[in-house]
Structures are given as structure tokens and as C-alpha cells.
Structure 1
Amino acid sequence: MPKLAVLMTPDRAADVCDPQTRQLLDDRFETTWAGAEHASGPLTLDSEAIPGLVNNADIVLTSWGTPHLRKGLWDDGHGPKVVAHAAGSVKKLIDPAILGEGVAVFSAGPRIAWSVGEYCLASMLTLARRLPRFDHAIRAGGWKQTAFRGHELAGAKVGIIGASSTARALITLLKPFGCDVVVYDPYLKPDRADDLQVRTATLEETLQSRFVSIHVPNVPETEGMISRKLIERLRDETVVINSSRGPAIDQQALLDHVLEGRLYAALDVYDPEPPKFDAATLEAPNLLLSPHIAGDTAEGHLALAGYVLADVLAYLENGTRGPSYVDPAVWSIAA
């Protein structure tokens, strides 16, 4: 039976492990829980305690709050062969040199992506129908407004920047609406675009859509990629959604056009975080703000550990590399 060390606090474990996953851990693994009582006292999660937790473990199950896993933990040859991350990006969790030690890394990012996709779809529908503006008007004592009217998402051109897992989730959710989905991603190969049933285009063409959704990783190549100049060229009443990384877009330029009433925007990420906005920005009825929670749902979080462990078991049994497997070849462009 594989030995597994759970490197997360009890509170985090309760957040990302549903009852079925806890049963799976009991049935399929010899599990050691951080925070559990042992003869020498409770196991803690500080960096000094990590070597003791991972000693002779075959697998480590991690999440938000797990200390950085440095290469030195594997130097004696007894380190785990699998890192299963019940959260999103693993770039801050592990030293990439670990990948060269024959360690397989899995991330529940693709499961979080579905939650992000739902957020993006909800934002599109909310802003297309001008619901914040109608809400603002009725709270101010008004009723039906004749100065503006909402639009439908069905059949609209949707521009997606970056073909990440969150983008793919959104593309799936958009299928019933019959949208014309255009994707800009220099790494998206034609056969993969065909599989997704989307067409590819330049960044400039993709931005000429009624809806623009950003799904790029936080790497030097994406910082400031949507500049003030590009924002100025957006069509009037374009809906811009950023659920990826704040630095990808010139945030102030976007807000300038939102406050003019020319654009609509839904922002879940910012540069910096948390943001500090003036009263006019906070009151803008064409701006939807949320605190970096696009991927944060009750159901999604509880599913994370089970999602990644299902792929780990398949990998251990027959070498299958499921959707949560982190391919070392794309480490440099991963989120």
C-alpha cells in the first residue's frame, strides 16, 4: 500500500477533501496527516517539519499553505515519487529541479478551471444584459431605462486570450450559445484548435470581439500584453473579463474607458492585489468586481483532493498521465 503524507493543516484538509476522498485515503494509502497526534507530539507544517513528514513517503498531498518543497528533500534518494497538489499552480510550491529527479507532479488546476469558466460565463451574461446598471438604476428609485438595452450572448463573437485550462472550460460552457469563438494563443496548434471547435487569430483580431476573456499565465511574455493602445481600439460596449492575472492588461487604461462608459469589465484579478479604487470606480455600474474568487466554489474546493488523487492512482497503476499531470515540457509557460 503506497505511503502518503498529507502536507496541509486540518482546516485546509476539511476544505479540499470530501468524505469520499477521506475514505479513499484510508482504503488505498498508508496515510500520515500533518497535525495528527503522534507519540512525539503533533506534526506541524513549518518548513523544518517537512523532512520528517515526507521521509519514506511515496506520495505527498499538498494544497494552499504547504511550505515550499525544495530539491534538498530528495537528495538522499528517499523522497516521494509523486507530488499531488490539491490546488492550482505548483510553481511556488516546488523547486522545478525536482522534476529532474523522476518526480511526477499533479495539480488540481484543471478542476479549478471549471469554476473559473463558470465565473466567466456568469460575468458575460451579467454584463451583456446590463444587470448591474439596471440594479443601480432601481436602487436609485428608477424603473425601466430607455437609454440602454441589454444584449444576448447567443451567436456573439467571443475573443479568448490564451488557450489555458480555464479558457477550455469556458469554451465548453459557451457551446450551447453558438458563439463565434476566436482564440489568440501562439502555442495553440491547428489540430488542437480544431478539437476545440474554435478558430485562431492574431491578438488584434481577437480583441475585436463583443466579449473578450483573458486566460494567460503570469509570465514575462504576458505582462502588459493588452496595452492602452489596444484597449483604445476595442469596439464600443465590449465586455472585458480578466480572471487570469492582473499584470496581463493595462488596468488603469481599461478603467479609464469603463468610467467613460465606453466599455464594460469584470475584474477578478488586479495589479496590485488587493486593489485600491476611488469612489467613482467603485460606483461604476458597468464594472463588476470580485476579490480573486473566480475559482473558489464550495463544490470545487471539496473536489480538489479527490480529483488529483484519481489521476495519481491511474499513474501508479499503469502510467496514465491524466489531465492533472504537470508536463515538465511546458513548465515555462504554465500558470
Structure 2
Amino acid sequence: MNHRPHALLAMRPGLEMKLFTPTALNRLGTLAAVDAALVIDNFTTGPAREALARTEVLISGWDCPPLDAEVLEAAPRLRAVIHAAGSVKHHITEACWERGIEVTSAAGANAIPVAEYTLAAIILANKRVLPIQDHYRSTRRPHDWMDWSTLHPEMGNYRKTIGIIGYSQVGRRVARMLDSLDVEVLVHDPYVGLAEARQAGITLTGLDELVAASDVISLHAPSTQETRGMMSRRRLALMKEGATLINTSRGALVDQDALVAEIRSGRIWAVVDVTEPETPPADSELYELPNLLLTPHIAGSLGGELRRLGDYALDELANYVSGRPFANPVLARELARIA
């Protein structure tokens, strides 16, 4: 039976207008009793405490404060958190799991633009777009089309080997997208068994073997104690001459100093969307290296893509008010293997 729960928006103020169109806000008001003008990023204020006391569903987004035991004590009716973004590790605490609060995340929806960015990066990397652009700009003269094959005889995606590290929601999407190309795809993920791999039609391999065999390596593993620095100096040295490393996951997965040294040598290429720290210091070599494409964490949902996250949140809210289970629940036992 449908019911209309009290809901509260908890995120960076202003984000709600990017997540929800006017039509979506109307739908939100139909599904739940919510003050769309009240957007909380601090649970300690008077208005926040008053709203928490009646909240049954929290719709969270980036910059939602942690839902610790003290906050939950002020929210005795809270039953569910719908996160209109990716990872819930920043605000869902052990107290939430102990209380039995249901949690869902738009990580799957956010994976779509990350996978799109990755596919574009793979294609452009193998096509040698960056060095050809630099050469074309510096010479500013006509070139015969065969000149580029002479300068980069290995260019192109035909029969290249793409290594995916982490068969996550993003990794899975990238693998499926690569089905349209004439490439070989290798996957490393310790949580994926042979039966699942056979069903998905992917080739599992060891991490070192994948790194050594791949023309492009794309990172899609979560940041954990086990994955931190997994692309170490030793492992980066295993990469083929002219190979490309793509990181749209987390900067912590890569030994950044070692990566800079490898790129500086001209031996490998890289596409880096995430760093550690998230914004490199102003004097970092990352800004200057010619065989590196550096972007400021833009692979995930931005601009119009944010509306996909808002629509996802409303779909999950509709499931909740109809008594249906969440389509994409986040489970405590899975936290160690997700972003």
C-alpha cells in the first residue's frame, strides 16, 4: 500500500536544483511530504533537528554530513537513505547498519558517464590523438595521411589489448562497451569467479599479467587498504612501451611519484582524472607533462548528467512508498568491495 513519507534533502545547497528539474520536483512532492526549499548540510542546526524528528526518508547527495549515532538519535523515524550520488562511505556509518536503515545509491547511474569517459579515453589514446595534436600544432604545415602511420606505426584500436582492473559497475560497463571494438579485453578482480567470468564472456587474468600484456590499462577498483598503491613503481615498470594508464577511480590506487617518473621518461602515456591530493599542488609536474591528459575529476556525473541521478533517486523513492524493495540496495557486507 502506498504511503507518503516525510522526506528531507541532505546535500550541498544548490545541488538539488541541478539534480531535479521543476517536473522532477513536482514528482518528489507527489511521492513524499518534503520542503524542497530546505536543504541540509549541517545536522546540528535548529531547523535540521526539527526536520530530522519527522523524517522517514533521507535523500542525500554530495556533502551530506555523516549519519552517526547522535544524528540518528535525532531522527527516530528514519527508515531509509536514498543517495543521489555514488559512494555512501562518506556519510553512512556503522550506526546506520545497526539501526537497520535501508540504503540505496545511484552509483550505477553515476557509472554511465564514467564508462563513457573511459571508452573515449581508450579510443583516443590508441589513436594517438594527443601526440598528433601536439605535432600538428607545432609544425603547422600540411601532412600526408601516411605521415601519421610513419610517426605512430602502432596507432589504432584494431586488435589492441585493453586491461580492466576492477570489475565494478564502471568496469562492467566499460567491458560491455568494448564489445563494439575489435579488441581483446582482460579483467583482473579477485572477487570475480570463473563461473561468473564465463557467463559474462570475459577473460580473467593475474594483475601483473594484465599490466604486462595490455596496450591500455583502465582502473576501476575501489580505494581500500588492499588497493592503495596497487599501481606501484614495480608494476608501472611492467607496462609495455607506449601503453596508456587511465585512472577514473581514485588517485590512491597509483604511486603518483612513480607514475610521473614513468611519464617523464616518455615510455608510457596516461589519462588521469583523479589524483592524490585531489587537486595537485600548483607546481606539480602533472600539469606540464606532454604525454599526460589531466582532467579535474570530471568523468562522473556533471551538468545535465546530474538529472539522471535525480531521476534515479525518485525511482527508488517510488519503490519505497509502494512497498517494493530498492532496485539497487547497498549492503553492509559489500562495503569492502565497492567504491
Same fold (TM over 0.5): yes
SS at match of 1:134: helix
Aligned residue in 2 for 1:31: 34
Aligned residue in 2 for 1:90: 88
Aligned residue in 1 for 2:103: 105
Aligned residue in 2 for 1:140: 138
The reply on whether 1:157 has 2:161 as its aligned counterpart is: yes
CA RMSD of aligned residues (A): 2.2
The reply on whether 1:22 has 2:25 as its aligned counterpart is: yes
Aligned residue in 1 for 2:265: 260
The reply on whether 1:47 has 2:43 as its aligned counterpart is: yes
1:5/1:32 contact within 8 Å kept: yes
Work out the CA distance in 1 between the residues paired with 2:74 and 2:286. 55
Shift of 1:61: 0.6
Work out the CA distance in 2 between the residues paired with 1:257 and 1:9. 38
Shift of 1:139: 1.9
2:55/2:75 contact within 8 Å kept: no
Q: Which moved more, 1:294-303 or 1:197-206?
A: 294-303
2:162/2:183 contact within 8 Å kept: yes
Question: Is there any run of 5+ residues in structure 1 with no aligned partner, and where?
Answer: 36-42
Aligned residue in 2 for 1:179: 183
Work out the CA distance in 2 between the residues paired with 1:209 and 1:63. 36
Shift of 1:265: 0.6
The structure-2 alpha-carbon separation of the partners of 1:9 and 1:33, relative to structure 1 and needing over 3 Å to count, comes to farther
SS at match of 1:212: strand
Counterparts of 1:1-335 in structure 2, within 5 Å, are 1-35=4-38, 45-49=41-45, 50-75=48-73, 78-143=76-141, 144=143, 145=148, 146-149=150-153, 151-207=155-211, 208-276=213-281, 281-323=286-328, 325-335=329-339
Question: What per-residue deviation string (whole Å, max 9, x for no partner) do you get for residues 98-143 of structure 1?
Answer: 1121211111111111111011111111211111112111221344
Q: Among the aligned pairs, what percent are the same residue?
A: 28
Work out the CA distance in 2 between the residues paired with 1:238 and 1:134. 16
2:113/2:305 contact within 8 Å kept: yes
2:13/2:40 contact within 8 Å kept: no
Work out the CA distance in 2 between the residues paired with 1:20 and 1:171. 34
Work out the CA distance in 2 between the residues paired with 1:256 and 1:71. 45
Name the amino acid aligned to 2:117: Y
Shift of 1:154: 3.9
The structure-2 alpha-carbon separation of the partners of 1:328 and 1:299, relative to structure 1 and needing over 3 Å to count, comes to same
SS at match of 1:234: coil
Provide runs of 4+ in structure 1 moved above 6 Å: none
Work out the CA distance in 1 between the residues paired with 2:11 and 2:262. 43
1:130/1:149 contact within 8 Å kept: no
Shift of 1:296: 3.2
Work out the CA distance in 1 between the residues paired with 2:196 and 2:73. 39
SS at match of 2:162: strand
Name the amino acid aligned to 1:46: N
1:259/1:281 contact within 8 Å kept: no
TM-score normalised by structure 2 residue count = 0.89
SS at match of 1:66: coil
Work out the CA distance in 2 between the residues paired with 1:314 and 1:192. 29
Work out the CA distance in 2 between the residues paired with 1:46 and 1:277. 31
SS at match of 2:139: coil
The structure-2 alpha-carbon separation of the partners of 1:310 and 1:190, relative to structure 1 and needing over 3 Å to count, comes to farther
Count of residues in correspondence between the two structures: 327
TM-score normalised by structure 1 residue count = 0.90
Shift of 1:9: 4.8
